[in-house]
């Protein structure tokens, strides 16, 4: 299964709301059509005293959830102890983390940190164990009980002597950095023409497995099902973490470190934190709306970045991404504006955001609506190819990667991508000659879907007709996706024996064996990224 470029909203829910609001839209259609800007469309509702009073009335009936609860913290910790006694360490770990997230004060948290350190050492996670022991001590773990922590600390330190140090994720060497594209190696360039628009071209021959891009997202959010229960992915940077720490004010957000927690709080979560108890009950919104909010909050503090070149950490590049505004119907704009107003009323009444942006409210509304449209077609679902846990689904986050959006789609792409935390790594999936265009798949490939489905889906989501070779020649759907190809010694041996077939570009359409081998290659990439083991050799030879 390929990682997918996804729509971040629930389309069925949105369509249902459109049907429900149809009479209101028809009654106000002509007046709403007079709105010339995004801010005016939102103000159509936001400045309507009757509408806002109705929304405020809805809000007043919502009963907020408890942010912290020692009672729940104790229950989770005791349940974790029962699982630990049954040697179900991973399940116990989750409950200890949940206990930490619910704890109202440091004393209760200290017990859960101490217990979690025991689960961590039992799982062979010695550095994480040491970190939690220090957290337990700093949180006031009882003096008369500390001997067992010190004993555990000695065992973890001893075990670390024989452990292999973790290697950091691959970073582009200074000598290979692209002087015009922040996140790229010096093997590609950004071109623009009438036929392809903006696209990526190889500036030299590129080998299979060679890294083209190492891109950090402009913003990233965790999948909703990952924060509805304790997750091992950091809410701030999405790095995988066995021993996360919670927001100090709510139990819903977990972070890999104090530094990441503070950065996310100051940038975004201080506003989100205050409205979380109301989101599910008060609004018909998914994470798509909060993602647009996060983009806008980051953008409001990104006005002075004037460094040369194409940068993935700058809003200038983000705001130039496509929105398909021209294809958006007036009725859809009406509903998007109403839902945006719901979010703004909530933020105005339950957070300090509107105080902080005083005098810039209209700019904020304009940016937010643009980002709402843009993120729908440019944000990428982030999939954990080499899943850490049988208890969690492979999709763990959604990110906005501006440079990735410069790659055009092909149903048989010559590049593929994986993740290390929230960092996207794009590699050559097949040899790419100098001057050739570099393609990615937007989650729709000939090996998984027939021509009719691909063309309809791409036109519906991205408003273009694909003209790749697989579409022009109507290649048959592959059966290799139905086969279970495990990443093991046998598959690696087979890959080495048949690597020449992957480099033979005359085999068009590709054989089933080639497609299977491509799948194995990507599994290897994902596994190596996870372990951060590509720093020495970014290509497969």
* Gap between the Cα atoms of 314 and 374, Å rounded: 15
Q: Kindly report the average pLDDT of the chain as a whole number.
A: 83
> Is residue 538 scored above 90 in pLDDT?
no
Parts of the chain belonging to CATH 1.25.40.10: 70-161
Model pLDDT for residues 251-275, shown as the tens digit of each residue: 989 999 999 999 999 999 999 888 8
Q: Which residue in this structure is represented by tokens 């701030």?
A: 236
Residues 522 and 385: beta-carbon distance below 8 Å? yes
> Is residue 228 scored above 50 in pLDDT?
yes
Split at pLDDT 50, 70, 90, the class of 177 is very high
What distance lies between CA 451 and its chain's CA centroid? 29
35-39, 158-162, 455-459, range with the lowest pLDDT: 158-162
Residues 294 and 397: beta-carbon distance below 8 Å? no
> Is residue 246 scored above 50 in pLDDT?
yes
What pLDDT does residue 82 have? 98
Measured CA angle at 259 (ends 255, 265), to 5 deg? 65
Residue percentage of the chain with pLDDT more than 90: 51
Task: Give mean pLDDT, residues 208-212.
Answer: 89
Task: Give mean pLDDT, residues 120-128.
Answer: 95
Split at pLDDT 50, 70, 90, the class of 14 is low
What pLDDT does residue 288 have? 73
Task: Give mean pLDDT, residues 205-214.
Answer: 92
What pLDDT does residue 128 have? 95
Pairing of strands 408-409, 439-440: parallel
Split at pLDDT 50, 70, 90, the class of 9 is very low
Closest residue by Cα to residue 224 from 216, 233, 215: 233
Pick 350 or 520 by higher pLDDT.
350
For residue 292, CA distances in Å to 266, 270, 368 come to 17, 16, 6
> Is residue 79 scored above 80 in pLDDT?
yes
68-77, 151-160, 376-385, 475-484, range with the lowest pLDDT: 475-484
Answer whether CATH 1.10.287.110 is correct for domain 174-216+401-531: no
What pLDDT does residue 529 have? 54
> Is residue 230 scored above 90 in pLDDT?
no
The reported pTM is: 0.83
- Residues in contact with 468: Cβ distance below 8 Å, sequence separation at least 6, in sequence order: 409, 410, 411, 412, 439
Annotation: CATH topology of 70-161: 1.25.40
Parts of the chain belonging to CATH 2.170.270.10: 174-216+401-531
Model pLDDT for residues 332-356, shown as the tens digit of each residue: 899 899 889 988 988 998 889 999 9
3-state SS assignment for residue 188: strand
Split at pLDDT 50, 70, 90, the class of 491 is low
Pick 318 or 530 by higher pLDDT.
318
Residues 421 and 531: beta-carbon distance below 8 Å? no
What pLDDT does residue 291 have? 86
């Amino acid at each position: 299964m390929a990682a997918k470029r996804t729509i971040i909203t629930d389309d069925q829910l949105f369509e249902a709301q459109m049907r429900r609001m149809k009479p209101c839209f028809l009654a106000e259609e002509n007046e709403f059509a007079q709105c010339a800007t995004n801010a005016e469309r939102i103000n159509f509702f936001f400045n309507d005293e009757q509408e806002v009073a109705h929304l405020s009335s809805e809000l007043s009936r919502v009963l907020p959830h408890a942010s912290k609860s020692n009672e729940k913290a104790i229950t989770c910790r005791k349940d974790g102890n029962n699982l630990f006694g049954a040697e179900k360490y991973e399940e116990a770990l989750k409950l200890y983390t949940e206990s930490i997230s619910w704890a109202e004060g440091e004393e209760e948290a200290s017990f859960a940190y101490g217990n979690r350190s025991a689960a961590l050492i039992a799982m062979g996670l010695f550095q994480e164990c040491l970190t939690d022991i220090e957290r337990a001590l700093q949180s006031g773990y009882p003096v008369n009980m500390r001997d067992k922590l010190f004993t555990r600390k000695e065992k973890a330190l001893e075990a670390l002597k024989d452990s292999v140090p973790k290697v950091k994720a691959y970073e582009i060497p200074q000598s290979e950095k692209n002087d015009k594209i922040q996140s790229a190696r010096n093997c590609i360039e950004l071109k623009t023409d009438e036929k392809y628009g903006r696209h990526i071209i190889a500036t030299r021959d590129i080998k299979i497995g060679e890294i083209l891009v190492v891109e950090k997202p402009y913003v990233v959010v965790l999948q909703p099902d990952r924060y509805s229960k304790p997750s091992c992915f950091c809410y701030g940077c999405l790095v995988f973490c066995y021993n996360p720490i919670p927001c100090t004010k709510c139990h819903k957000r977990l972070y890999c470190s104090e530094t990441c927690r503070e950065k996310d709080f100051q940038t975004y979560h201080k506003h989100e934190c205050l409205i979380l108890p109301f989101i599910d009950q008060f609004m018909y919104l998914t994470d798509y709306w909060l993602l647009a909010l996060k983009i806008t909050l980051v953008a409001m503090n990104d006005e002075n970045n004037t460094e040369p070149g194409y940068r993935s950490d700058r809003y200038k590049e983000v705001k130039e991404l496509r929105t398909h505004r021209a294809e958006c119907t007036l009725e859809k704009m009406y509903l998007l504006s109403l839902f945006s107003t719901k979010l703004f009323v909530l933020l105005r009444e339950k957070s300090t955001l509107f105080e902080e942006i005083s005098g810039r409210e209209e700019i904020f509304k304009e940016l937010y609506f643009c980002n709402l449209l843009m993120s729908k077609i440019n944000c990428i679902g982030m999939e954990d190819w080499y899943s850490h846990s049988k208890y969690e689904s492979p999709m763990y986050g959604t990110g906005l990667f501006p440079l990735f959006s410069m790659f055009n789609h092909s149903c048989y792409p010559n590049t593929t991508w994986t993740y290390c935390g929230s960092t996207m790594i794009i590699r050559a999936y097949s040899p790419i000659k100098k001057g050739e265009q570099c393609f990615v798949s937007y989650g729709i490939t000939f090996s998984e879907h027939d021509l009719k489905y691909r063309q309809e889906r791409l036109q519906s989501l991205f408003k273009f007709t694909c003209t790749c070779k697989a579409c022009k020649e109507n290649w048959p759907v592959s059966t290799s996706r139905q086969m279970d190809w495990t990443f093991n010694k046998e598959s690696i041996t087979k890959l080495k024996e048949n690597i020449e077939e992957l480099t033979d570009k005359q085999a068009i359409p590709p054989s089933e064996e080639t497609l299977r081998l491509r799948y194995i290659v990507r599994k290897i990439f994902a596994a190596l990224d996870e372990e951060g083991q590509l720093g020495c050799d970014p290509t497969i030879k």
